[in-house]
Amino acid sequence: MFNFDEIVDRTKTPCEKWNKYKGADVIPAWVADMDFKSPPCVIEALQRRVAEGVFGYTDIDEETYGAILSFLKRHYNWEIQKEWLVFTHGVVSSMNVACLSVEGESVMTTTPIYPHFIKAPMHANKEVIAIAMKEENNRWTLDFEAMEEKINPTCKLFMLCNPYNPAGTVFTCKELEQLGAFCLKHDLTICSDEIHADLLLNQSTKHIPIASLSEALAKRSITLMAPSKTFNIAGLQASFAVIPDVELRKRFKKTMGSMVGGINLLGITALKAAYLGGDAWLGELRTYLAENLALVQAFVNRNPKLKLLDQEATFLAWIDATALHVKSPYEFFLQHGVGLSDGGPFGNAQYVRLNFGTQRTVLKAILERMQKAVDSL
């Protein structure tokens, strides 16, 4: 049993999440990292590596490759080859590399979405074709009709987020197959951010890497993964891209060049330890997060002016506060002592994103403050 209720005082270190409101009576529930300690196997591996005392340039060893291959096979029944892996600082930098390395003058993605899905194509001087997600069966999903209407010949890249940030959707096999057919029809490369893939919140949900569906889709896919969200090691900058096609991988690496470095030595250490020994911890984390989500959903259910659709993954709740009729829900809740993510940069300023990846007592305090805020109207 792992103790996810243990409080960690993150204000004693220069922590981005908790420093944002330093000195103010505000509980942060915004940026996507959790307040839990990483798995003991990760901490112990890092302590052993630090004790060696030498931190020079480091290669990726065979055990690290093996850890990734076995983790993907174990969790997703996805068999990949080590040659397909490209190590990077993070998923965000990889998204920018993908936009630069794929031809075309425009990029299609969905909205609302993690802001870097909009920023990355713009950094590459490409038009963004943003397709609004739609509500269907009380969950957010893809609008294929709108995608067909908006696609144009200059578009050569589709940027997918699965599981979906901020809405928590895990796309079904049928949805992914339909998306794959759309990309094949229009000759689109797929850049799929799957950083939240491990954080499934119910046992009936299954994450399927889109590149695993067929050889044809694998050949046009750049799949971005990392242990950072799963095992709370985002500060170690450990991520990788899975790119089966030789030519696509060459273009990706060439674009990276000397601008974007690879994974650092402590990141390698943590990744390997997490993928080899973190399964039991991950299983208990998923249960804890699912129970936290139930508290968030119960709070929303008590307040008819708030809305939260069914969520299948991540520790981030996308809450519709339109019916509060306040100018900025983010500012409104901030005034009542809760620092959420403003929905504006994601695509809708009438929403807020709540990070419930925290200790139960902290989450309850957050929800109590939000309740007082709603009651004040």
CA nearest to 178, candidates 142, 127, 136: 142
pLDDT computed for residue 338 by the predictor: 98
pLDDT for 221: 98
Mean pLDDT within 107-134:
98
Per-residue pLDDT at 203 = 85
196, two tokens? 């939240």
pLDDT per position as a tens digit, 59-96? 999 999 999 999 999 999 999 999 999 999 899 999 99
pLDDT in tens, 216-240: 999 999 999 999 999 999 999 999 9
How would you classify the pairing of strands 134-136 and 139-141? Answer: antiparallel
Tell me if the pTM is above 0.85: yes
pLDDT of residue 34: 98
Q: Average of pLDDT values for 205-221? A: 98
- Domains, the chain, with CATH or none: 10-37+279-375 (3.90.1150.10), 45-277 (3.40.640.10)
Q: Mind listing the pLDDT tens digit for each residue in 275-297?
A: 999 999 999 999 999 999 999 99
One-letter amino acid at 46 equals L
Share of the chain above pLDDT 70, in %: 100
Q: Is 199 helix (H, G, I), strand (E, B) or coil?
A: coil
Q: What is the pLDDT of residue 179?
A: 98
* pLDDT tens digits, 44-62: 999 999 999 999 999 999 9
How many C-beta atoms lie closer than 10 Å to residue 351's C-beta? 24
Residue 141 has pLDDT above 80, yes or no: yes
User: How far lies 136's CA from each of 50, 112, 171, 175, 177, in Å?
Assistant: 50, 15, 12, 12, 18
Residue in 236, 223, 313, 221 with CA at minimum distance from that of residue 272: 236
Q: Summarize the confidence of residues 193-198 as an average pLDDT.
A: 98
Confidence check: pLDDT of 258 > 90: no
CA–CA separation, 341 and 330 (whole Å): 7
Whether pLDDT at 261 is above 90:
no
pLDDT surpasses 80 at 303? yes
Checking if the pLDDT of 259 tops 90, the result is no
Residue 85 is predicted with a pLDDT of 98
Q: Return the pLDDT at 118.
A: 98
pLDDT at 360 over 90: yes
Which strands sit side by side in the sheet containing 341-342, from one edge to the other?
A: 316-320, 351-355, 341-342
* Mean confidence (pLDDT) of the chain: 97
Q: What percent of the chain has pLDDT over 90?
A: 96
